[in-house]
Amino acid sequence: VERQEAKALRQRLLVVANRLPVSAVRKGEKAWSLEISAGGLVSALLGVKEFEARWIGWAGVNVPDEIGQKALTEALAEKRCIPVFLDEEIVHQYYNGYCNNILWPLFHYLGLPQEDRLATTRSFQSQFEAYEKANEMFADVVNKHYKEGDIVWCHDYHLMFLPKCLKKHNKKMKVGWFLHTPFPSSEIHRTLPSRSELLHSVLAADLVGFHTYDYARHFVSACTRILGLEGTPYGVEYQGKLTRVAAFPIGIDSERFIRALDLQGVQNHMNELQERFKGRKVMLGVDRLDMIKGIPQKILAFEKFLEENPSWRDKVVLLQIAVPTRTDVPEYQKLTSQVHEIVGRINGRFGELNTVPIHHLDRSLDFQALCALYAVTDVALVTSLRDGMNLVSYEFVACQEKKKGVLILSEFAGAAQSLGAGAILVNPWNITEVADAIKRALNMESSEREKRHKHNFLHVKSHTAQEWAGTFVSELNDTVIEAQLRTRQ
Ligand code: G6P
């Protein structure tokens, strides 16, 4: 009966993430143009029929005036989105500062900022305060729209403070939190000045989810070692209840990619690419231009490969799509110049008058062009230094049913745990190893390519984003019901 009641209540899901799945451009005092970004999370939630999702998040734009805010709120409502308005100063301190300059690098094992210790410590504190304040602003919007029985699913490192804010307001709220990045070893997490506050806050949730079992284990270790709490195989004992901790590996909407390959637009793109790179093997990298993606290391490995294998020089090309991201953060600006410098040097060194070995684009591609690129690729290079999961590897596999190309995959991406058997796994820091993997991939026999592809394709097809979202939400419901039953006993 309890479970049936829960099913009946399983109608509304409030998805809270830093960013709404729309890009908003202001066209006038009251006019906004909105474009839905069809990312993994959006299709995951659209695919789950048992509940109706509403999104709460920042629209990614500064809207200082009330008229603009009202108009944007109305426009977003049609897309089932609810905005949280953050002013420029908060965005600077919370998003650029605490989220992207402190938590993001730390969770990817790149450590805390190393500049002048005192200066960092002072700005660290104000950034942490802005982080708390921003999380409270998200909580206010959730509380305003929450109805009894709703499920509230908080996403990612931006909102680690949110579960506590929500539960403080309403103990009965069903709150889940999912981390899309790695959760690092507890020895890394303990260097963070606000390590305990964040752990306490996340533990206020009913269910805490990660992409891999290792991340979940690291989180439980951080709670036991730093907070002295009791860990169990199911989670952490916290304030008289069990906070469930588990792994929920995300996937993609694989059918969307597989179907796209039949579209005329995609076929046209494929023909153009095949013509353009005739007689050459195509190697591909698609990454946000982020230091965790290991783009300089990847390009240096490609250089080493060209250096050691002169006969391949006019037979291979590397297409690197580097999507600009977080461009207000100085680290990202430095990385952009560094990548440009390396690409320029290698093209100068190995290029000919009519061709260069690396085609580097600082922009994203539309969906059809991207699918075509995946489909004509012989070898994909996903060599992140650390990555929560990495869905580019999944998208590539989904588009390779005909070609059966090779995936070179970092052992430090969450995806290595699911696609490891079909990919060539590498340590992205080891440039010699990656250069050797490139050679091996380019020379691989078709029978081996087929075997490897089959393994990965079956995985990508059967572990979809929809299944991921459905599993998390039903586990959250069950966790809450079990906790209620336990307190009644
Ligand atoms: C990662 C994070 C996401 C984030 C995305 C893009 O995948 O886990 O939460 O939205 O990067 O980054 P941005 O800072 O542009 O939102």
Determine if residue 36 is left, alpha or beta; phi over 0 gives left, psi from -120 to 50 gives alpha, anything else beta.
beta
Pocket probe mutation, ligand 1, options 177, 288, 328, 364, max atoms within 8 Å of Cβ: 288
368 CA → ligand 1 middle, Å = 22
The protein residue with its alpha carbon nearest to ligand 1, atom 10, reads 19
Rounded to an integer, the average pLDDT of 391-413 is 98
| Residue 181 clears pLDDT 80, i.e. is over it | yes
Confidence of residue 47 (pLDDT cuts 50, 70, 90): low
Distance CA 382, CA 422 (A): 13
Pocket probe mutation, ligand 1, options 91, 104, 156, max atoms within 8 Å of Cβ: 156
Residue ranges around ligand 1 (CB below 6 Å): 18-19, 156, 180-181, 325-326
How high is the pLDDT of residue 6? 52
389 CA → ligand 1 middle, Å = 12
| Residue 185 clears pLDDT 70, i.e. is over it | yes
| Residue 45 clears pLDDT 90, i.e. is over it | no
How high is the pLDDT of residue 38? 66
Q: Quick one: which atom of ligand 1 is closest to the CA of 95?
A: 14
**Angle in degrees, CA 124, 128, 132, rounded to 5:** 175
405 CA → ligand 1 middle, Å = 28
Distance CA 158, CA 489 (A): 37
Which residue has better confidence, 118 or 451? 451
> Looking at this predicted complex, what is its ipTM?
0.97
- SS3 call for 334: helix
DSSP E strands in 59-202: the ranges are: 81-84, 151-155, 174-178
Pocket probe mutation, ligand 1, options 100, 180, 329, max atoms within 8 Å of Cβ: 180
Rounded to an integer, the average pLDDT of 124-135 is 95
How high is the pLDDT of residue 36? 85
Determine if residue 446 is left, alpha or beta; phi over 0 gives left, psi from -120 to 50 gives alpha, anything else beta.
alpha
Distance CA 13, CA 155 (A): 13
329 CA → ligand 1 middle, Å = 14
407 CA → ligand 1 middle, Å = 23
Q: How many CB atoms lie within 10 A of CB 118?
A: 8
**Residue range 313-348, pLDDT digits in tens:** 999 999 999 999 999 988 899 999 999 999 999 999
238 CA → ligand 1 middle, Å = 29
322 CA → ligand 1 middle, Å = 14
Q: Flag the least confident range among 47-51, 183-187, 329-333, 355-359.
A: 47-51
* C-alpha closest to that of 285 among 393, 367, 180, 411: 393
Q: Quick one: which atom of ligand 1 is closest to the CA of 60?
A: 16
How high is the pLDDT of residue 396? 98
pTM of the model: 0.95
| Residue 108 clears pLDDT 80, i.e. is over it | yes
How high is the pLDDT of residue 44? 74
Pocket probe mutation, ligand 1, options 18, 22, 37, 390, max atoms within 8 Å of Cβ: 18
428 CA → ligand 1 middle, Å = 22
**Residue range 67-76, pLDDT digits in tens:** 999 999 999 9
